[in-house]
Amino acid sequence: MAENTAQEIEDVLVDEKRSMLKQPKAVWAVAFAAVFAFMGIGLVDPILPAIAKNLQATPSQVSLLFTSYFLVTAIAMLITGFVSSRIGGKKTLLIGLSVIVVFSALSGLSNTVGALVGFRAGWGLGNALFVATSLAVMVGVASGGAATAIILYEAALGLGLSLGPLMGALLGGWQWRAPFFGTATAMAVAFILVVVLLPKTPVPAVKTRLRDPLVALGHKGLRTTAGSALFYNYGFFTILAFVPFILGFNAYGIGAVFFGWGVAVAVFSVFVAPIVQRRFGPVKSLTGSLLGLMVVLAGLALAAGHSVTVIVVLTIVSGALLGINNTLFTEMAMA
């Protein structure tokens, strides 16, 4: 009986791997575009100290690059369903990518930190239109159901987060404005990929109302998950926004550290999170990883100014925990 059970589990895992790789071209088109889109998040990290120096800004002012970006993203995501349910997923993705191209280029032309923060806010609008719609499109067309689509989406997230710092370091080591123009170019490539490879997506039969996202919070499970994710994201972006300043490295060094961080996000979100979830269940797994992240953040605070080695190690470890958290939060919200 035990041997049969083990064989059944192995067969299920093999089938999952096959279904994950055998996807329609539409899934890969959106996934590749998502990699480029997520590169725009980590791409800024290696040049944060350079931005502060060249625009005569404080670390707190530079951190507003993330605040404006994700504040607008969060608010705009409330209307993305309303928009995509009326014009279709493909058009929404293309509009989002177009907005990112324009505002990332404008960011590279900024001469003040205030202008840069403002353009990052516009960038966040495009990010909301693309990110929320890309997951919905992938869930709708992926073979293997929502779970497979979520894993592929998280893989694109992790890959983008790991490649972004590399691109930011290579371009930022030359000129701090270059990564913004590099992002505009990458988004233009993503735009072409979606135009060429993604078939026209039908307009949903049922149109989403503006109030539907807020009405959905009436579900206790979703409300709890969303509330927890709100506070979790403080930790996520504290690492992104402030670790570059306590490392004391140049753009290349910061890029290398956050490349390792991004690789950890990708590996643990795709390969480790499903195993942990099956072994301990989603709630226990998420609770454990959040406690681990709390310890890592406390360790970073204590190590700041004392041990660069500890900061590097803890930053990469945080990527592993963030990868698990991202997948679990997404799956719980979808459920």
Domain assignment present for residue 1? The answer is no
Domain assignment present for residue 3? The answer is no
CB atoms within 10 A of CB 17: 12
pLDDT in single tens digits along all 335 residues of the chain: 444 444 443 444 444 445 566 777 778 888 888 888 888 777 788 888 888 888 998 888 888 888 888 889 888 888 888 888 888 888 999 999 999 999 999 999 999 999 999 999 999 999 889 888 888 888 777 776 667 777 788 778 778 878 888 888 888 888 889 989 988 988 898 898 888 888 777 777 778 887 887 787 778 878 888 888 888 888 888 898 889 989 988 888 999 999 999 899 888 988 898 899 889 988 899 999 999 999 999 999 999 988 999 999 999 999 999 989 988 887 777 77
Query: In this structure, what CATH number is given to the domain that contains residue 215?
Result: 1.20.1250.20
Question: Do residues 221 and 331 touch, judged by C-beta distance below 8 A?
Answer: no
Domain assignment present for residue 317? The answer is yes
Give the pair of three-digit tokens for residue 304: 């700041």
The whole-number pLDDT of residue 13 equals: 40
Q: What angle do CA 32, 33, 37 make, to 5 degrees?
A: 120
**Could you tell me the CA-to-CA distances from 27 to 30, 123, 149 in Å, in that order?**
5, 24, 8
**Residue with structure tokens 């570059």?**
244
Which domain does 163 fall in, by range? Answer: 11-334
Global pTM value: 0.79
| C-alpha–C-alpha distance, residues 159 and 266, integer Å | 6
Domain assignment present for residue 294? The answer is yes
Q: Which DSSP letter does residue 271 get?
A: I
| C-alpha–C-alpha distance, residues 10 and 153, integer Å | 24
The whole-number pLDDT of residue 43 equals: 79
| C-alpha–C-alpha distance, residues 292 and 159, integer Å | 23
| C-alpha–C-alpha distance, residues 185 and 214, integer Å | 35
Domain assignment present for residue 257? The answer is yes
The whole-number pLDDT of residue 144 equals: 67
**Could you tell me the CA-to-CA distances from 162 to 46, 90, 151, 168, 286 in Å, in that order?**
12, 26, 16, 10, 23
Domain assignment present for residue 183? The answer is yes
The total of structural domains in the chain comes to: 1
The whole-number pLDDT of residue 19 equals: 56
